[in-house]
Amino acid sequence: MSRARSFVFTLAALAACNGSPGAPSTEGDASTTTAGTDTPATATNDASTDPAPTTTVDDPTTTVPTGTTGDPSGLTYYRDIKAILDGKCATCHRPGDIAPFSLTNYDEASMFAPIFAPSVEDRTMPPWPPGADCNDFASDRALTEDERARVLEWVAAGAPEGDPDDAPPAPDDDAPSIAYDVQIGLSEPFTPTQLPDDYRCFLLDWPKDQPTYATAFTIEPGAREVVHHVIAFIIPPDELADFEALDAADPGPGYPCYGGPGGEASPRAQWLGAWVPGASSGALPEGTGILVKPGSKIAMQMHYHPNGAPVADQSTIMVRTAESVARPAYLLPFAHPGWMVDAPAMTIPAGEADVMHSFTIDLGSVISYLYKDEAVGVGEPLLAHMAGVHMHTRGARASLVVESGGAPEACLIDVPRWDFNWQGIYEFAEPITIEPSDVVRLECHFDNSSGDASLKWGEGTEDEMCLGMIYVSTP
Ligand code: HEC
């Protein structure tokens, strides 16, 4: 049952977040930050600006009793709500973490309860992008229907406290701790200065001199209040020159990068992993691992969201390695090769509200293209364990579906409301077999209705992408 805790990483890059109240509030030294003002906090702790909601549960099928303040049969914080908030909110809503306020005790929960309803009703909190109708995932962070109804009911009842003795015992945290044996990071602190977002890549030496499999991955963020997401890409020895040139061309440690690790080889760069605030365990699915060759480098892409004060970050990548694994695996990025070379271009005309681009691939051929010297994947079934999609800010929705004989066979991932700030790769509850005759269809929809320029594929913030990501292993 360790699956439930295993690998889900949702990339949280919060364009609108103002750091947490616990964050250092040193007055910015104007000479070291780019001009700009603090982004206003997205949530105010002044409940009076937001009249107490009159929301009621909008699901008529719910059987949750109606609670009223003081009614002993009604819902209370300690008996009914604390465990939900601890398990599904406080992973981010805690001091020094990414969310703008904490929800770790009754005082905090009751202070912010009056602003819960809109986010809980429209399911933007907790952030969980995969649509529920497509596939089941190992660590679903969304509220269940029952939890959602209870939270809304409790909020509507005025957030009654109840009796601390009613609190259920804290769940045993029996997650095995992961013994990471590789730690690599910035050799010197870096202070992000681009406002509102600073995207930067750092090339780190991979320390192993033998072929090694990465079996777990996480990030130890240096400055949690400004680190919004981290993606680590494996740059094999024969691709290094391009990336080293980018690094050399930019002063200071690292170089600017946005969607990928930069440069022409960027779309081919395999992910080692990604990290987001609130991410749980970093273990890859049981028995699988990603090969990293000696002489490789890791491009660590940082998305910083500086809060106006000069905060120095020195984040570290932690990897658990093994000499061999039962099922070698690949975290494959893929897209239409033509989009990158303009034939056919991935054009998204200005003013269009729904532009669709799609691509269907045979995964075996992708593996043989990316890993020319490895025999895996051609003519054999593959097991898919995790999937994700990636677009930039004009992305609206996207999906990956396995097709067999021209008909949909299995939905891997569907993100019905794409948000660049909450992207990720999600582990399936059960692996899905992809037969050699199957193909995988990637479909991306873009909304450029407010744009006045036509967009195309590219690495920049004003470009778009449509990338599928799938973690597959030998069966
Ligand atoms: C994965 C991290 C994460 C989890 C889990 C999470 N939140 Fe949040 N929450 C945030 C961040 C970050 C913000 C700041 C707004 C933003 O950028 O989305 C936020 C903002 C909010 C807001 C203010 C919304 C607004 O419009 O500004 C509310 C209310 C909220 N969260 C409630 C909750 C509740 C209730 C839960 C649990 C049921 C929860 N959150 C779980 C990260 C999280």
pLDDT digits (tens, 9 = 90+) for 189-201: 999 888 878 889 9
**Is residue 154 in contact with ligand 1, taking CB distance under 6 Å?**
no
- Which residue's alpha carbon is nearest to atom 36 within ligand 1? 89
Q: Which atom of ligand 1 is nearest to the CA of 16?
A: 17
Least confident of 232-241, 408-417, 443-452: 232-241
HEC assignment per residue over 4-50: HHCCEEEEECCCCCCCCCCCCCCCCCHHHCCCCCCCCCCCCCCHHHC
Write down the pLDDT at residue 174: 59
> Which of 8, 80, 93, 103 best tests ligand 1's pocket when mutated (most atoms within 8 Å of CB)?
93
Whether pLDDT at 65 is above 90? no
Q: Whats the size of the chain, residue-wise?
A: 475
Q: Is residue 138 within 8 Å of 428, Cβ to Cβ?
A: yes
Compute and round to an integer the Cα radius of gyration of the chain: 23
Q: Which atom of ligand 1 is nearest to the CA of 278?
A: 1
> Which of 18, 119, 141 best tests ligand 1's pocket when mutated (most atoms within 8 Å of CB)?
119
Distance from the CA of 125 to the center of ligand 1, in angstroms?
Answer: 5
Whether pLDDT at 373 is above 80? no
Q: Which atom of ligand 1 is nearest to the CA of 141?
A: 5
Q: Is residue 397 within 8 Å of 133, Cβ to Cβ?
A: no
Q: Which atom of ligand 1 is nearest to the CA of 112?
A: 29
Angle at 423 between CA 338 and CA 115, to 5 degrees: 145
State the average pLDDT over residues 2-23.
27
Whether pLDDT at 364 is above 80? no
Note the CATH architecture for domain 176-325: Sandwich (2.60)
> Which of 85, 101, 120, 125 best tests ligand 1's pocket when mutated (most atoms within 8 Å of CB)?
125
Distance from the CA of 98 to the center of ligand 1, in angstroms?
Answer: 9
316-322 vs 439-446, strand pairing mode = unpaired
**Is residue 89 in contact with ligand 1, taking CB distance under 6 Å?**
yes
**Is residue 278 in contact with ligand 1, taking CB distance under 6 Å?**
yes
Write down the pLDDT at residue 262: 79
Q: Which fold has domain 327-475?
A: Jelly Rolls (2.60.120)
Whether pLDDT at 277 is above 90? no
Distance from the CA of 450 to the center of ligand 1, in angstroms?
Answer: 27
For 436-475, letters b (16+ CB in 10 Å) and e give eebbbbbbbbbbbeebeeebbbbbeeebbbbbbbbbbbbe
**Is residue 127 in contact with ligand 1, taking CB distance under 6 Å?**
yes
State the average pLDDT over residues 428-457.
93
Q: Which atom of ligand 1 is nearest to the CA of 116?
A: 29
Write down the pLDDT at residue 19: 29
Distance from the CA of 455 to the center of ligand 1, in angstroms?
Answer: 31
Higher pLDDT, 140 or 264: 140
Residue with token string 């271009």: 345
Tell me the pTM.
Answer: 0.77
Write down the pLDDT at residue 202: 94
Least confident of 10-14, 20-24, 36-40, 314-318: 10-14
Write down the pLDDT at residue 271: 84
Write down the pLDDT at residue 181: 95
Whether pLDDT at 123 is above 80? yes
Write down the pLDDT at residue 335: 85
Query: DSSP characters for 174-220?
Result: -PPPP---EEEE-SS-B---SSS-EEEEEEEE---SS-EEEEEEEEE
CATH 2.60.120.230 residue spans of the chain: 327-475
Distance from the CA of 147 to the center of ligand 1, in angstroms?
Answer: 16
Distance from the CA of 99 to the center of ligand 1, in angstroms?
Answer: 6
Distance from the CA of 18 to the center of ligand 1, in angstroms?
Answer: 12
